[in-house]
Amino acid sequence: MLQAIATAGNVVLATHIRPDGDALGSLLGFSSILAGMGKRVLCYLDEPIPEKFSFLSHDGQLVTDLEEVAAFAREHNNDITSICLDCGDFQRLGKCGAVMQTMRPFLVIDHHQGNSGFGDFSWIEPHRSSTGEMIYDLALQLGAAISKEAANGLYTAILTDTGSFQYNSTSRHTFEVAGDLVDLGVQPAAIASALYDNVPLVRVQLMQQVLATLELFLEGQLAIIRVSREMLQATGTTYEDCEGLVNFPRSVYGVRVAAFLKEGNDGVVTVSLRAKGNCDVAATAAKFGGGGHRNAAGFRVSGKNLMWVRDQLIAVLTPCLLSDNG
């Protein structure tokens, strides 16, 4: 892996569809690091960088058209090293996957549990906080310089993928890397403000309506919120604007399971489940044909309305939450 990157002259970087802070921060940060090593770097994204991450700058070229990736490969006689970042499986690369695979060596750098290692060389460490943390270590091993712009990308990756240093994956090393990035010029307050103090008003108005639906059941151990199509229409928002709202019911004192019910256009209700402590919501989701992790899982139900799904969920969780009070 190290050798393949060190000797690469031309690099194409890509990440998963609907990229989050780790995906974009790692992509743009690594792009600057590789460009600083004198490599020609092309980043591919399905869509332009989302507005909320527009504060991230980078060196290297960014394209959103696969034809330009093909042109880059032709220009360099197919002497391309392709690297995919933060992508847990091949499908999540979206439409660039097939193209990435033809440019070899094809490298995979990721921290998702269950990544099968679908590259010619794969570096996967599921215990890591973020791909950004791994890219930092990689840059040190390569002896590469990390510019302030690159440091901002990697810090954003770590901050967002650890939920601001809250999740289990946050290790001593995560803080060491974050500290090193601060030495390289990152201003934590400025990054946090850029990420979290720029919420569009319509999103807060949606939050107002969604939080008004909060209900507690089973002696206050189950908290449920929901969003209807009407709420999205009335506020001019989309499902993406609902991201993170499930954390509000989860945060309530005494709540052990939180659920967020979302009504889709296609008569499908999507449910996100979050657990605190020892509840296993993956098991709950499995009863509805879904899946996930112990603490975060989900499922979908077709042809039923929000209230039907709510009542079924209460019924399924009743024995779990009322039988053991552990």
In the complex, which residues of this chain contact Mn ion (CB under 5 A)?
22, 86, 161
- CA–CA separation, 101 vs 235, rounded Å? 41
Instruction: Give whichever of 161 and 263 is closer to Mn ion, judged by the CB atom.
Output: 161
CB of 157 to Mn ion, least distance (A): 7
Neighbours of 228 (CB within 10 A): 16
Instruction: Give whichever of 21 and 60 is closer to Mn ion, judged by the CB atom.
Output: 21
CB of 317 to Mn ion, least distance (A): 29
Instruction: Give whichever of 10 and 156 is closer to Mn ion, judged by the CB atom.
Output: 156
Instruction: Give whichever of 135 and 255 is closer to Mn ion, judged by the CB atom.
Output: 135
Residues 6+ apart with CB under 8 A from 324: none
Strand order in the sheet with 257-263: 215-217, 222-227, 257-263, 268-275, 296-302, 291-292
Neighbours of 315 (CB within 10 A): 9
CB of 22 to Mn ion, least distance (A): 3
Instruction: Give whichever of 114 and 143 is closer to Mn ion, judged by the CB atom.
Output: 114
CB of 45 to Mn ion, least distance (A): 16
Q: Which residue is nearest to Mn ion (CB)?
A: 22
Encoded tokens for 144 = 């590469």
- CA–CA separation, 11 vs 118, rounded Å? 18
The end-to-end CA distance of the chain, in Å, is 46
CB of 91 to Mn ion, least distance (A): 16
Instruction: Give whichever of 29 and 249 is closer to Mn ion, judged by the CB atom.
Output: 29
Strand order in the sheet with 121-124: 61-63, 40-44, 10-15, 81-85, 106-110, 121-124
Going 203 to 204 to 210 to 216, the CA torsion angle's sign is: positive
CB of 103 to Mn ion, least distance (A): 23
